[in-house]
Amino acid sequence: MPCTVIAGAFWGDEGKGKIISYLALKDRLDVCVRTGSVNAAHTVWYQGKRHALHMVPAAFVYEKCRLLIGAGSNVHAAQFFKEVEETNVKNRIGVDYQASIIEEKHSTQDKTTAHLKSLGTTGWGVGPAIEERVRRTAKLAKDIPELQPYLTDVAPEVNHAIEASEKVLLEGTQGLMLSLFHGTYPYVTGRDTSASAICSEVGVGPTKVDDVLIVFKAFMTRVGTGTLPGELTKEEALKRGWFETAAGTGRERRSAPFNFELAKKAVMVNGATQAAVTKLDILYQGCKGARTYDELPREAEQFISEIEKRTGVPVLLIGTGPEALDIIDRRK
Ligand code: IMP
Ligand code: MG
């Protein structure tokens, strides 16, 4: 903290929502800004309830945290209102005037364009909405009457909070391997997903960031098409307990073992200073619900050490179960 960027290392679904919800509660975050768009679902389990958030920042669980959606984001208005209601954050969420809007036609285009279908997009229409923005014909948040009560200028809000030494978190979505620039093109999303791009979407300069926290899952998953090194069969994934379905679209996720080369690349391109590893309890028995490092079985500790050694960043947070507080926190 004070200003931390959270970025995903692989193809999204690393458990960023869980890590953010933990930090919100534990560190009493002052501000959390979500980037990207509705295609990404961040799952938060809190007080026995599951939330799959496509619009509202995952830090909503801490009731004093100011929640923002950055200028570079694409807002799906109907989904935004639905989640604001579900999470009861009406009085503390803001949307940048210049965030662009995803309309129904974008989703239709996404689902009916053969080329986009072949990439296995989520179908929310994010690619077509970004195309429209680049053509400079997009509707912006300020053009939508129902969004008026929420409108704000996110960049000054966040920069003032940083100047005042408040705890600010910039919430990245998806992962580096889905980056339009650094990922597995053309099987990527429509934007850069790296830490620099997250800052850019919010309007925070690189000199204002203190930490970049890269989030790894203990194994890799991918939805949609495109390469996945070391991919397992569905049968093998089921046997290992790695089989997942997507929080947003319900599609089956493909899975593969953790890849150290990709992890190194993600650390480098994001300029990560620290890491989190989620779902360690799925990889090694005996980790579930652990809250201290000493409780971990030896093999699990060795895996964490190997990640640190090979990527060069300390693993400070380790997820050991779905709830926000199922975490081993190795920070001072
Ligand atoms: P789009 O972002 O909907 O255009 O989809 C492009 C590719 O990114 C597809 O392979 C999607 O499955 C993938 N994708 C987009 N958002 C997410 C996410 O939040 N988690 C995982 N995969 C995603
Ligand atoms: Mg997700």
Active site residue 51: no
Query: What local confidence, expressed as pLDDT, does residue 178 receive?
Result: 98
CA of 173 to the centre of ligand 2 (A): 8
Ligand 1 lined by 87 (C-beta under 6 Å): no
**What confidence tens digit (pLDDT) does each residue in 148-206 have?**
999 999 999 999 999 999 999 999 999 999 999 999 999 999 999 999 999 999 999 99
Asked whether residue 299 carries a pLDDT value surpassing 80, the answer given is: yes
Residue 318 Cα to ligand 1 midpoint, Å, equals 25
29: tokens are: 């975050």
- Across the chain, mean pLDDT equals 97
Token pair 């959606």: residue: 69
Q: What is the pLDDT of residue 250?
A: 87
Residue 42 known to be catalytic: yes
Question: Computed from CA positions of residues 317, 50, 158, 271, in that sequence, does the dihedral angle turn out positive or negative?
Answer: positive
How much is the pLDDT for 249? 83
Say how many C-beta atoms besides its own lie within 10 A of residue 96's C-beta: 28
Answer whether 12 contacts ligand 1 (Cβ < 6 A): yes
Instruction: Give the pLDDT confidence of 234-280 residue by residue, as tens digits.
Output: 999 999 999 999 887 889 999 999 999 999 999 999 999 999 999 99
- CA 224 / ligand 2 centre spacing (Å): 13
At 277 the pLDDT is 98
**pLDDT tops 80 at residue 283:** yes
Give the CA count within 13 Å in the CB-facing half-sphere of 218. Answer: 25
Task: List the residue whose alpha carbon is closest to atom 1 of ligand 1.
Answer: 121
pLDDT at 248: 78
When pLDDT is averaged across residues 19-37 and rounded to a whole number, the result is 98
What Cα–Cα distance (Å) separates residue 294 from each residue in 287, 297, 300, 320? 10, 8, 11, 13
pTM for this model (two decimals): 0.97
- Does pLDDT of 1 surpass 80? no
How far apart CA 260 and CA 135 sit, in angstroms, is 39
Say which of 27, 30, 42, 281 is annotated catalytic. 42
How do residues 304-330 score in pLDDT, each as one tens digit? 999 999 999 999 999 999 999 999 999
Q: Is 177 in the pocket of ligand 1 (CB under 6 A)?
A: no
Ligand 1: residue whose CA is nearest its atom 5: 121
**pLDDT tens digit sequence for 61-82:** 999 999 999 999 999 999 999 9
Q: Is the CB of 127 under 6 A from ligand 1?
A: yes
Atom 19 of ligand 1: nearest residue by CA position:
40
How do residues 114-127 score in pLDDT, each as one tens digit?
Answer: 999 999 999 999 99
Phi/psi at 5 (5° precision): -105, 135
